[in-house]
Amino acid sequence: MDHLDQLHHQAIVIDMHADTILRVLDEGEDLAAGAPGWHLDLNLMRQGGVDAQFFSIWADPYEYWGAAARDRAFALIGALDEQLEKHPSLMERAFSADDIRRIAASGKLAALMGVEGGHAINDDLDVLREFYQRGVRYMTLTHSRTTNWAGSSGDEIGRLTGLSAFGVEIVREMNRLGMMVDISHVSDQTFWDVLRIAEKPVIASHSGARSLSNHRRNMADDMIRAVAEVDGVVCVVFYPIFLDENYAAAARKVLYSLHQEADEIDRNLPPLAASYAKDRLQIAALQERVPPMSYTRLADHIEYIARLVGAKHVGLGSDYDGINCVPEGLETGASLPLLTAELARRGFKDDELEQILGGNVLRVMEAQ
Ligand SMILES: [Zn+2]
């Protein structure tokens, strides 16, 4: 094992965002063994040196809204609980940074949760508190659909709205509980509203840098600086469509060309089966018809943010198992050491690599 491999495997590596637990629940498969096409399972994580995984508790807002979104979130939490009961020698629930350190030292995976999309609380602070009790340690205020209390970057109305008075109350309650506020997916207006009132460091669980790739899901330089000023962390997403404008343009054409086939799937299958069938269709088409984006492009975003605000404010948020294309070279979590080597090649020092891989997230968790 060379020095960098050793550093990677000794460092506490934290992935801030992956959708794998949706696959466990919807496909009825096991997290230990995984299934064909998955980007992560317990083996792949071990190979990739992942010590802590934040599993996304995501209710698709166009499938689940209101009480249905809340119920879907609890079903996903239950699915992770079940996996934890089934595999006590392989994984353990973490509630805190200390838990992560202890579990990582024991050689198991530390499992954490982030709720992706505040619509899942169904406008009820008691649900938010219950999420926290069950182990949820961050919440992304919106997904791609604006709620009645926070604007999303994913729809027209959201881009003109920020936090409502109730939204302010929710952020304050999250700060009081010690649940990290995640601003990935929110509108710029919501972002600035959050930064004005947040009393704890905030996170972006899976976003890139807009200066390198102009996408609403990425962050402008002044936003990145604002996150750094409150000692937060921007965890960079692995999604080529966000990270590379050329890839995104080519992908847009391919995805558009699938419309008819997708409509047909929608007509013929129930919603959940249809959404997985459309995913498979998109994954195959993107793989066949779009020139891949190298994992070095991901390193570009990490390097850009580190040069802008320092390595203390960058992390990793793959979005594995929730994306229809992946960087070439990082097809699964097992290849993560490659990224560490690439960052070292660009001049990052050992302590900076440790910060980026997970140290920064630990610090932000401790400040909640
Ligand atoms: Zn997302």
Cβ pair 336, 292 in contact under 8 A: no
194, two tokens: 């959050």
Q: How far apart are CA 318 and CA 18, in angstroms?
A: 6
12, two tokens: 């506490």
Give the chain's end-to-end CA distance (angstroms, integer): 36
Q: How far is the CA of 140 from the centre of ligand 1 (A)?
A: 9
Q: Indicate if 334 and 191 belong to the same structural domain.
A: yes
Q: Indicate if 266 and 344 belong to the same structural domain.
A: no
Q: Indicate if 313 and 174 belong to the same structural domain.
A: yes
Q: Indicate if 188 and 76 belong to the same structural domain.
A: yes
Q: Indicate if 268 and 141 belong to the same structural domain.
A: no
The string of pLDDT tens digits covering residues 61-120 is 999 999 999 999 999 999 999 999 999 999 999 999 999 999 999 999 999 999 999 999
Q: Indicate if 10 and 99 belong to the same structural domain.
A: yes
Domain span at residue 45 reads: 3-244+295-366
The string of pLDDT tens digits covering residues 275-329 is 899 999 999 999 999 999 999 999 999 999 999 999 999 999 999 999 999 999 9
Domain count, the chain: 2
Q: How far apart are CA 113 and CA 55, in angstroms?
A: 5
Q: Indicate if 191 and 268 belong to the same structural domain.
A: no
Q: How far is the CA of 319 from the centre of ligand 1 (A)?
A: 7
Q: Indicate if 181 and 205 belong to the same structural domain.
A: yes
Q: How far is the CA of 259 from the centre of ligand 1 (A)?
A: 22
Buried b (16+ CB within 10 A) or exposed e, 262-276: eeebeeeeeeeebbe
Q: How far is the CA of 116 from the centre of ligand 1 (A)?
A: 7
Q: How far is the CA of 205 from the centre of ligand 1 (A)?
A: 8
Show which of 261, 277, 292 is a domain's final residue: 292
DSSP tally for the chain: helices H, then strands E: 17, 9
The string of pLDDT tens digits covering residues 129-147 is 999 999 999 999 999 999 9
Strand partners, 112: 54
Q: How far is the CA of 58 from the centre of ligand 1 (A)?
A: 8
**Residue among 198, 204, 118, 192 at smallest CA distance from 367:** 198
Q: Indicate if 211 and 230 belong to the same structural domain.
A: yes
Mean pLDDT score of the chain: 97
Q: How far is the CA of 239 from the centre of ligand 1 (A)?
A: 10
pLDDT range class, residue 272, cuts 50, 70, 90: confident
Q: How far is the CA of 144 from the centre of ligand 1 (A)?
A: 8
Q: How far is the CA of 176 from the centre of ligand 1 (A)?
A: 25
Q: Indicate if 80 and 105 belong to the same structural domain.
A: yes
Q: Please identify which residue in the block is written with the tokens 């926070």.
A: 150
Q: Indicate if 240 and 280 belong to the same structural domain.
A: no
DSSP sequence for 217-233: TSB-HHHHHHHHHTT-E
Q: Indicate if 142 and 249 belong to the same structural domain.
A: no
Whether residue 1 is predicted with pLDDT greater than 80 in this model: the reply is no
